[in-house]
Structure 1
Amino acid sequence: MALHLDSPPAPRAASRARDLVAGLVRAATTPLVPSDYLDLIAPLSNPAALRGRIVDITPETADAATITIRPGRGWAGHVPGQYIRIGIDVDGVRQWRAYSLTSPADAPGGLITITVKAMTDGVVSNHLVRRARPGTLVHLDQATGDFTLPSPLPERILFLTAGSGITPVMGMLRHLDRWAGATDITLVHSAPMADDVIFAGELRELAARRVITLHERHTRSAGIVEPAHLDELVPDWRDRQTWACGPTAMLDALEEHHAAAGLADAVHTERFRPVVIAPGGGGTVTFLGAGVEVDADGSTPLLDAGEDAGVLMPSGCRMGICYGCVVPLRRGVVRDLRDGSLTVAEDGDSIPVQTCISAVAGACAIDL
């Protein structure tokens, strides 16, 4: 039988073809919604999940680099001295770490920067410094932290930093540079050797322009800066507000030193290694709507605890769709496994929590 290309297909064949196409479309799109397509096609434009894209990686020293990020829609900005939490996938596992913002608050193009030092056995820091590439998509939290400068500025400021402790202060210095001469700034910075000084060229250039008075100390040859050295390095330290960031021992000694001088309120510290909060002791979690009650330990995400018990849990996490697992906490306490913070709900409350990063910290009930 001859086939004429200009002949219309038989009605039944056309109907079957339409049904087949429609079925394929439904299979391909279920359970996605329009916002999910936006998330896949233009991830920086989705306001429901804050992301950023790495646009540049600039080496600072042999083991440190500045990561320039273009934040997506929803970025609320930052105050110099604050930090952000970065989420990045390393070998198939999403890892979260906090890093100080080193860019001024109004950097050109809305770009932000973090400066990362690769630490021994540091999974994320080594990945960012040595393996990450421009174009990489990262997850972001909004900026936070109170290691910031007041308004109006003090007449005299002392920054005391060591190693990567210069990073939050660098954001402040870049902000202060535009008001050169408006306040008297002294920076005492320590690093093992000259080649280990992060931002070395920029710090020395600020000193050459007399924006700051710089005391750069190389500890392998000159020893560690002790608070007692301030009498020689910064004779008027008692008249200055001090911001310090560096090793815990340095900060502890500085706080004791200022407290002994009756100046405890004049020193402000930023500690990169906060106290580790142990996961909660666990408890009973009730999945309302499913009629299921299970005991869970304090390190298992509620999402996993529910799925292990056969509960159909809402989630888009494994498809890369964030916040699909958010459900109301009706009562009880859960702990954020990222930072140990607690969310408490009393009877009658309806507080949204992410089940993929929350664990039970006492009896609780969530709605489905």
Structure 2
Amino acid sequence: MSPLVDLLVGPHGIDRYLELIRPDLTVRDASARAVAVHHQTKRSVTLTLRPNAAWTGFQAGQFARIGVDIDGVRRTRTYSPSCSQHRADGLLELTVTTHPEGLVSRHLRHGLRPGQVLHLAEAQGDFVLPARRPERLVLISGGSGVTPVISMLRTLCDEGHQGDVAFVHYARTADDWLYQREVEALAAGRPNVTVDYVTTREGGRHIDERSVRALIGGRDPASAVAAVCGPPALIEAVRAIWQHAPERVLAESFTPPSLNVGDTAADGTLHFLRSEIAAPIAQGTLLEQAEAAGLTPDFGCRMGICHTCTCRKTAGAVRDVRTGQVSTEEDVDIQLCVSVPAGDVALEL
């Protein structure tokens, strides 16, 4: 877009005007129109989306922030595409597990209709296949963690990958299995691919090292690469098996880790500068305290992965609940969801 046009439509930019004509008719901002909405299970919704020209694509395993307008407020969450990165028709597929308290997931399942437009951010994340595809690969997922892993499997199949691939998926019940028929169909025509769908209830297996080791079929951790996405217990089991070759484990968790927020709150005041609100420090992360003060900052994962809640701290001390490290620097960006105040704090919020 030329500088002259930018000047004429400033300060908001041309995209804000194009959105008035058609929501996905934007030049710089990526968005996607819903093409189909499908319910694979009682607790999920699969969306097929057509991104606009501003979307630059993704690598299998990455995630993207998705924005949806609900009651006049744009809500942002983080989801991993489940389609191949080489999908020929250019469509994007997302499968979202619905949570009882999940405002956005419930809206996507019950309220989204074909033709509606979602907002997209650029894909992010390091949970991706090595550029040189491994000769032996174990893909392991639990629950909603199947989405980036099924993307990896679909991508490998589209590439005609001939290496050994084991696909293992854990879910609570057989009714919660996602993509089972497709994955088994993929394996049926590819002798290099093995598949195991496992339940953890109804007399199923526990998620532990013994169970995972049995399912990967004697594959040697010294020569195989593991890509695992799921709850902490599953990731811990995989890391235990690969303990002598930790560099061969690619891991992503969709479950927030246990964060040491602390039993007592520091003394002091939180200053939300843009909102002109001051609140006494309470217990909880800065994201939780901002929400308690009536603010609605953007967030995605709430576990320090997606960086959606990044905010400028202009002054004060905060502690990272993952590492315990305290930051006292001025004018730095922090993640609200994994930071707690360690005294007076001023935020550009």
**TM-score, structure 2 length as denominator?**
0.70
What does residue 230 of structure 2 align with? 246
Secondary structure at the aligned position of 2:156 is classed as: helix
Instruction: Specify the alignment match of 2:195 in structure 1.
Output: 214
Is contact 1:101–1:167 with CA below 8 Å preserved after alignment? yes
SS of the residue 1:67 aligns to: strand
Compared with structure 1, are the counterparts of its residues 282 and 46 closer, same or farther at alpha carbon in structure 2 (3 Å cutoff)? farther
Which of these residues, 60, 68, 77, is aligned with residue 40 of structure 2? 60
Q: Are 1:231 and 1:237, in contact at CA under 8 Å, matched by a contact in 2? A: no
Amino acid at match of 1:264: P
Contact kept in structure 1, 2:209 and 2:240, CA below 8 Å: no
SS of 1:224's equivalent in the other structure is: coil
**Match for residue 340 of structure 1?**
none
Matches within 5 A, 1:47-196: 47-196=27-176
Change (3 A) 1:54 1:334: farther
* Uncovered stretches (5+) of structure 2, i.e. residues with no partner: 1-8, 281-285, 296-311, 319-327, 334-340
Q: What is the aligned partner in structure 2 of residue 25 from structure 1?
A: none
Question: Deviation at 1:230?
Answer: 4.1
Tell me the amino acid that sits aligned with residue 173 of structure 1. Answer: L
Aligned to 1:263: 245
User: Structure 1: which amino acid aligns with 2:206?
Assistant: I
**AA at the equivalent of 2:255:** R
Distance in 2 between residues matched to 1:277 and 1:73, nearest whole Å: 42
Q: Distance in 2 between matches of 1:345 and 1:42?
A: 43
Distance 1:282 1:159, change over 3 A: farther
The equivalent of 1:227 in structure 2 is 209
CA contact (8 A) 1:158 1:237 kept: no
User: What per-residue deviation string (whole Å, max 9, x for no partner) do you get for residues 219-252 of structure 1?
Assistant: 3233224222344332024231101111222212
1:35 Cα deviation from its structure 2 partner: 4.8
The letter for the 2-side match of 1:248 is P
2:254 alignment partner in structure 1: 272
Contact 2:63 2:79 in 1 (8 A): yes
The one-letter code matched in structure 2 to 1:229 is: S
- Bigger helix share: 1
Distance 1:157 1:363, change over 3 A: same
Where 1:47 maps in the other structure, the secondary structure is: coil
Q: Partner residue of 1:236?
A: 219
What percentage of aligned pairs have identical amino acids?
32
For residue 270 of structure 1, what is the amino acid of its counterpart? E
What is the Cα deviation at residue 364 of structure 1? 6.8
Offset at residue 198 of structure 1 (A): 0.3
Give the 5 Å matches for 1:11-22.
none
Relative to the length of structure 1, the TM-score reads 0.67
Q: In 1, are the aligned partners of 2:180 and 2:197 still within 8 Å (CA)?
A: no
Structure 1 position 104, deviation (Å)? 1.5
How far is 1:273 from its partner?
Answer: 2.6
Structure 1 residues 330 and 271: CA distance shift in structure 2, 3 A: closer
| CA–CA separation in structure 2 for the residues paired with 1:50 and 1:184 | 36
Q: Distance in 1 between matches of 2:290 and 2:237?
A: 38
Q: Give 3-state SS (helix, strand or coil) of 1:153's partner.
A: coil
Change (3 A) 1:118 1:153: same
Going from structure 1 to structure 2, the CA distance change for 1:283 and 1:79 (only over 3 Å counts) comes to: same
Aligned to 2:114, the other structure's residue is in SS state coil
From the superposition, tell whether residues 107 and 224 of structure 1 become closer, same or farther in structure 2 (CA, over 3 Å): same
| Partner Cα distance (1:173, 1:60) in 2 | 18
Aligned to 2:301: none
Structure 2 partner of 1:11: none
Q: Which blocks of at least 5 consecutive residues in structure 1 are unaligned?
A: 1-28, 288-292, 306-328, 336-343, 352-359
Q: 1:37 to 1:252 in 2, by over 3 A?
A: same
Partner amino acid, structure 1, of 2:240: E
Paired residues, number: 293
Residue correspondence of structure 1 range 8-47 to structure 2 within 5 A: 35-47=15-27
Structure having the higher Rg? 1
Residue 154 of structure 2: SS of its match in structure 1? helix
Q: What's the secondary structure of 1:66's corresponding residue?
A: strand
Question: What is residue 4 of structure 2 aligned with on the other side?
Answer: none
